[in-house]
Structure 1
């Protein structure tokens, strides 16, 4: 220790004692600054070390990902996996080192500063106080007059008592100083020694780990040397082959043709052919042929039985090098790149037909199973076009909705399945239980494996687990029921059935049943007074769903309190329409009817949970349905939600107009596209004898006319070719897919409704 204060000098209170105290106090103050600085540096070092461990762990995870990617290479996968495991051990060793550092430096030195130095400061305060009292007693004793004996005795007694107290306090202070000077050495050295031992253990652990890994690394190095030699050899061989092939004559593309007439399974052909689509436009596509033309014709669903087919040249069309494969029910027009290739393909098909006769019955049955519609037709060869929103993009967008990051029913994290009519996400186990309920209760789809149309993806993003659980689990806590945990299969089945089928947890008091008199409160016009006058309000413009609405008075949308049929009423009569009453006094069907117009999906889900009929018809509003109200409200997503929950796309009102009629009248292109995809009958006529196409032609709406005519052509083509139940040719699907994308993602592109529309 730097300074020791003598106890004898303390009793004398000599100048030497005071000088020693001053020196010790200055030394302790400097010691406190040094220790505080060391503790702060230790904290910074630990924080930096933890950040290093996090970055190191991310790097190690990258190595593991690379190892999984290299699963087809056993050497690379094994080596990277072993190295990543070793790095994980080193991360663990680093974590232990930082914990030891925190205990040995930060905690121990901080305790010394807070405890021992605090005691020193407290003793110093007491010493300074008693020193001041002693000085005051000395001054008072010196000032008393000798002739005042009483005051002399009093001053002497005070001085004696003060000196006695001073000696006790001074001795305690000196003791605290000496103890502190002695203890600080042991505390500092003990903490530093513990810190160094932590490093010693860390490096020993690392040395032992890599000593075990050393032989493997040595063997891998030798193997790597051989791989380098083999790679150099392979490179020379490939360069030689490249040089040899480069010298060949490629003047004719036919030299690329390779086939084997004596192949065990018929002629093997590989390459490209143009195929004429069976649509009204007779477009030509260039699909890829499999190795075996026999498998291509069967799997591609071009013919049902190759034994019933013939192949012939086609010289009566404008294109060259064409040939046709004809079956009793259909034909397939193909085009080669040259005459030589055409002859080779014809010979290949003929040989495949002969092979089909030689095939055994059981093999033919297996091929027939492969030719089921689920495998798709050649018309849908461009698979990437059909996958509008698939995989991680759909998963990420849906899981961003509040509550969707965990299963709606059991809370398991990272759900990969969804119920599209409920708008919730599910784990794989709960999705299986939902499938067993039936599609009238829950329609299950994968967020990573299935195709997601844009309107359906928007529907999922409008609802979510939190919204649905507030409806279907409103009374769970009141009833004292606990949600099942992941892995409890039987408990899950009982809970999910009670939740969605029996709807036991729905708050029945949230919607009160209303008498007919209340239902009549929000209508004041008879159906005879409400004649169609939609074009009276001038041009329309698109809203946020790609659907047009009336805009002659500058409003983006109609107020939610206006009666639905008031959209078709003249300006003078619209003022008398009654407003909707409070939703708490509506029966479920009426709430669904109102919420559909207001584009309020949570309210719609609540109404369905309370038993609302999705096809409920309002007898006071021309028997309009919630789906028709959704059309009038101008929301594509609302229509999709009702259709997913069983709404009848062809249910009409008293004027004979279904949802497709109303969407056509209002110029809602996105809704027209949606209803046609969902099987709407475009041949249905209203009470004036007009079908949707005639309405669109009179309104000069080019987009809707195009959609209706394409749908009609596709329907006629499928009927003529016997393709009942098939989706249609590729061009038809592409056009409807583009309109769906625009309606959901770029609605402004559908704002083409002409302002000079005429009344019909």
Structure 2
């Protein structure tokens, strides 16, 4: 025990002792105030904790009730049951913490204030009385006259007794001071230690309890992700059905006209009809009628037992009724009774009469067990009248196209983590992704990656064709070229999201793993001797000698497997004029993108963009032409789409004032004209000769392109006239452009023949 005050100093009763006494007294008073405040705060905390536990238990009971309500859904029931049980365990542990706090903190500190501090005050009052008595005795002893011996003796005796009493009281006081100092440490520390132990056990118990649900939580998370995807898919389907139904004429209830003798639920026909009662009042009531199991029945509410009107349809007949004052009436006559019914319209009246007649015929045929059942004939007629085959074929075509994307090398696994069966894609990179990596790509921003779902989003044919030109294997050869030289480990499907995000940012944003380009100058490309001069004149002063491929450009062979001379030969298959061989190995990224766009070499284009090529790079040596204009010259639809998805300006003009739309119109590339118009090309832009694309198309007598341009212009003018209430686009306009897009992507030779022969 640490000695706060020394007993020897106490006997001296020195000023230093008095000063120390005063410090101790102030400290104990301050301690008493703070402990009383802490006890009140502890009491408030305990009361709030008990209220929290009580309301939490009510919440857990609510979870149990909800789980019982969801007993039909195993996933919901299991989730709520497990979670409520774990919460109950945690709440029980929390109640134990509250009781421990009550005993070890509040009670102990309260006893310290009420007992130890009070005893200290009592001893202090005794010390102060002894001190006052000693002071008085000293004064009387000092004032005793020398000549009065009896007074001197009395004063001396009184002083002796007072000093003895004071020293005894002082020693007790010093002892109490030292004791309270020691007990203050032990009691407060013990209370805090008990509280910390209780809190630690609470959180440890809670952590252990919920750790048991680790596998279940992962499973539930996967199921939730699938639920989200299914919900989005169902929402899309419902929105499409909703839009299709709204386009119909809803003035009639067409569903009532659907007679299906082979319905899965056995109900061949159903709907509301008015029925006249057979009583004396002849009242009319609206009821829900249905034809099922060769019977005509009705009911008022769904839970009501159906009332049979006709027991066996083979024993009845149906005919219109014109004798009643009401319109649209018909009678169902059986041997036992006649039932008068009324429809809402003449159309419904005829439909019900036909339905009853067909049901009578079906009942007879079933009874005879004729294999050529009228139900089969009726069902085939109904299916042909729906005319839904086109939509199914269209959906099958879309599924087939997406299967083609998945068949590209490497696309069956996520490009970044290798998870099988990816359902997402980055359309500007041309890769497939799992749902986790797609979310990370989306967070990078559209200037790095544009993410779409392979199953939930609609895909234009140009995009599908673009995705089929690249793929995970090609892109990874570019963006992971130096992966073996770097210590960073590529994530796998089970890696934490943080590892995947770090890898993806290093790969596509920081580009740590691409092959570094050798130092090259900003040499401008020169037009080869066979290239068409868009201004109509040939620059014969600029000549470039043939160059052989250099071995120091490892990127082109690595990505494409072709030498630069092979790339030139590939381009020659689309041209009648032979060009000089070019060495592409020393080109800087912008020039490399420019040349590879003309050669329709997608891996090299992707390689150039990965190395920082400006997608709108201008070649001043060739009339300020851009990579997009080069792709137009080669009639490369997918290459143009690739450049546009990576930020190419669809309206950037060359030195003659001609943009990509002008060049596509001049060359008669109808598919490219369609693409540029969909991507927002300006059909009113004029070149240096003051000709817009429509004028050029008219001069060239290209009817298809004239039609596309005029429809686009007319559609825009109509939307502007409609103002803020205009629709997003005319259906005819969208259908025409959709047809041209499919033709340009799947049957380009048809458009080429039309362009070559304007009269056809």
Q: Verify same fold: TM over 0.5.
A: no
Greater relative CO (CA pairs within 8 A, separation 6+): 1
State the TM-score, normalizing by the size of structure 1: 0.45
State the TM-score, normalizing by the size of structure 2: 0.45
